[in-house]
Amino acid sequence: MALKQNVEQALEPTIGVGGLPRAAFEAGLAGATSALRRLREDLETGRLALLQLPGSESDLAEIEAAAAGLKQGASDIVLLGTGGSSLGGQTLAQLADWNVPGLGRLAEGPRLHFMDNLDPITFARLLERLPLPDTRFVAISKSGGTGETLMQAMAVLSALDRAGLRGRAGELLLGLSEPRKPNGRNALRDLLEPEGVRFLEHHTGVGGRYSALTNVGLLPAAILGLDIRAIRSGAAEALAPIRAGASVNDTPAAVGAALAIAAALEQRGIHVMMAYADRLERLTRWWVQLWAESLGKDGRGSQPVAAIGPVDQHSQLQLYLAGPNDKVFTVVTTGVAGEGPAIDPELARRAGEPGFAGRHIGDLVAAQGRATADTLARNRRPVRRIEVDSLDARTMGELMMHFMLETILTGYGIGVDPFDQPAVEEGKILAKQYLAESRA
C-alpha cells in the first residue's frame, strides 16, 4: 500500500481543545465498524458492482482498442459529458499533464477537451476552431438522457453537416451509454446510432460519480497513454484490507470515515482537502462532487472545499487558521523532496535567501506541506495527513478508490444513501419549463 494516513493531529488528546474529542472519534470508529461490516457484505454478495472493478482486467483490452481507434489521425479529441461523466477522466488525465496549470498547453499527444460545462459561447468557438476532419468526439451519458450532453452532440452533428463531414460521423464520433432499456428509449443512442455511431457500454451498476474506474474514466486515461492496468491494481490495494477482513484501524478508508462521522457528530460542517501537487488539483474537484452529492441529503453532509498548495496558502490559509474553527482538514502530500530544479547558491545569496542554496523546488514544497499541516494543528484545527511516495497511475488508482470507499462508509455511518441524488430533479424540471416558456 502506497497511501499513508495519519489522523493523530485531528484529535483533542494530541492538539488540544478544538481537535475532535476522543469520545466523538470512538463513536466514529463504532459507526465505521458497522459500516465496514455492511461494505464487506456488499463485496461478498457482489451487490455493489464498484467493488468488483479493482484488480479486474477483463474489460481493459476493449478500452485500449477504443482509445487506439480514436487516436488514429486525431489532433483533438473532445469528451462530451458532464459531472461524474467527466471528472474521473479529468483526474486521471491530469497525471499526463492535461490541464496542469501553466503546463497544460504544452502537453504532448492529441489535445483532449473535456466539455463538462455547457456554455454557448465556448461551444460555438470550439466548433469554429477545431480542425473538424481531424477531431474525434466521445459523448458520454449513463442514462443517455443528460440534456447538456445531448445538446452538445446535436450541435456537433450540425457542425459536421455544415463541413460536409456528416457522412463520416460513424468514424468521428463514439458514444458511451447504457444498453437500451426494455422500453427502448435512450436519447443519446436514438440520436447517434442512426448516424452509424458505435457505442461502448456504460456499466449499468456503477453511477456517474463512482465511474472513474470504468471505461468512463479509463478511456481518456488510455488515450493519453496512461497505464490503466496500474490504475486498477492501485485501486485493488485500497480495497485489499476490506477484502482481507482487516479491522477498522487497519483499514485506512474506515479510519477516514470514522473521522468524518466524528466530525458530523461535532457539527463540523466544512471539510477541506488541500493537496500539495498540481496533478492532484482535479482529484480535489472530483472529490468535491463525490462527497457533496453522495452525502448531502436529509439535512446531512458537510461542504467539501478543494484547495491546492502551496498557492492556496496565499488565498485560503488565513481563513483556515484564524476564521471559525468549524472545519476538518485533509492535507495530501507526495514525496517531492529532491524533485525539480535546484537553486543556484550564488543566486540564492544575492536574493538574501541563503537557505535556498542548493535546495530543490520540491524541498520547499515538501517543507510547506508539512508546515501547513503542523501550523493548522498548532492552531487546534483538526488535520488528517495523507501521503503517497510518488504520483503515478498506481497511486492515483489507490487514492481514488480510497476516497470512494471512505465516502460510502461515511454515508453508511451517518445514515444516508451514498448512491442516489434525489434533490436535483426539481431544478431540471423547472429549467425545461423555463426553456419552453422562453420560446419566442
Active site residues: 293, 314, 428
One symbol per residue from 367 to 386: x for binding a copy of itself (CB under 8 A), - otherwise; what is it? xx-xxx-xx--xx-------
**Residue among 173, 365, 400, 405 that touches a copy of itself (CB under 8 A):** 365
Residue 48 class from Cβ within 10 Å (0-12 exposed, 13-18 middle, 19+ buried)?
Answer: middle
d(CA 116, CA 93): 14
Is residue 131 within 8 Å of 75, Cβ to Cβ?
yes
Subset of residues 177 to 196 that bind a copy of itself, contact rule: CB under 8 A: 185, 187-188, 190-191, 194
> Dihedral through CA 379, CA 380, CA 386, CA 387, nearest 10?
40
Q: Could you give the CA distance from residue 257 to residue 31 in angstroms, rounded to a whole number?
A: 9
Q: Which is nearer to a copy of itself, 251 or 407 (CB)?
A: 407
CB of 281 to a copy of itself, least distance (A): 8
Tell the smallest beta-carbon distance from residue 431 to a copy of itself (Å). Answer: 4
Q: CB-wise, 182 or 324, nearer to a copy of itself?
A: 324
Candidate residues 59, 97, 171, 227; the one interacting with a copy of itself per rule CB under 8 A: 97
Give the nearer residue to a copy of itself in terms of CB position, either 209 or 384.
209
3-class DSSP assignment, residue 249: helix
Q: Which stretch binds a copy of itself (CB under 8 A): 6-14, 28-36, 219-227, 300-308?
A: 300-308
Q: Which of 366, 386, 393, 396 binds a copy of itself (CB under 8 A)?
A: 366
For residue 218, give the amino acid letter. Answer: L
Among 124, 134, 389, 415, binds a copy of itself (CB under 8 A): 124
Beta bridge partners of 4: 387
Q: Which residues of 98-131 are buried (b: 16+ CB within 10 A; e: fewer)?
A: bbbeeeeeebeebbbbbbbeeeeeebeebbeebe
**Binding map of a copy of itself across residues 207-236, x = CB under 8 A, - = no contact:** -xx---------------------------
165 binds a copy of itself (CB under 8 A): no
Considering only 52-60, 164-172, 174-182, 285-293, which stretch makes contact with a copy of itself by CB under 8 A?
285-293
The residue range among 9-17, 20-28, 58-66, 287-295 that interacts with a copy of itself, by the rule CB under 8 A, is: 287-295
What is the C-alpha to C-alpha distance for residues 78 and 135, in angstroms, rounded to an integer?
7
Query: Do 81 and 139 contact (CB within 8 A), yes or no?
Result: yes
Among 72, 117, 247, 249, which residue sits at the site for a copy of itself (rule: CB under 8 A)?
Answer: 117
Q: Is residue 197 a contact point for a copy of itself (CB under 8 A)? A: no
Closest by CA position to 216, among listed 87, 75, 48, 52:
87
Angle at 213 between CA 210 and CA 218, to 5 degrees: 125
d(CA 232, CA 395): 10
The region of 50-58, 248-256, 273-281, 392-400 touching a copy of itself under the rule CB under 8 A is 273-281
Q: Which helix (H) or strand (E) holds 386?
A: strand 383-388
Is 179 strand, coil or helix?
coil
Please give the residues from 62 up to 81 whose contact with a copy of itself meets the rule CB under 8 A: 78
- Segment near a copy of itself (CB under 8 A); pick from 16-24, 42-50, 149-157, 168-176: 149-157
In whole angstroms, the minimum distance from the beta carbon of 285 to a copy of itself comes to: 8
- Containing 11, the helix (H) or strand (E) segment is none
CB 92 within 8 A of CB 231: yes
Distance CA 135, CA 256 (A): 42
Contact between 244 and a copy of itself (CB under 8 A)? no
- Beta-bridge partner residues of 5: 386
Q: Could you tell me how many residues of this chain bind a copy of itself (CB under 8 A)? A: 136
Taking each helix axis from N to C terminus, what angle separates 147-162 and 425-437, rounded to the nearest 10 degrees? Answer: 50
**From 49, 118, 165, 265, residue interacting with a copy of itself (rule: CB under 8 A):** 118
Q: Which is nearer to a copy of itself, 33 or 149 (CB)?
A: 149
User: How many angstroms separate the CA atoms of 299 and 328, rounded?
Assistant: 19
What's the min distance (Å) between Cβ of 280 and a copy of itself?
A: 10
**96 scored as a contact of a copy of itself (CB under 8 A):** no
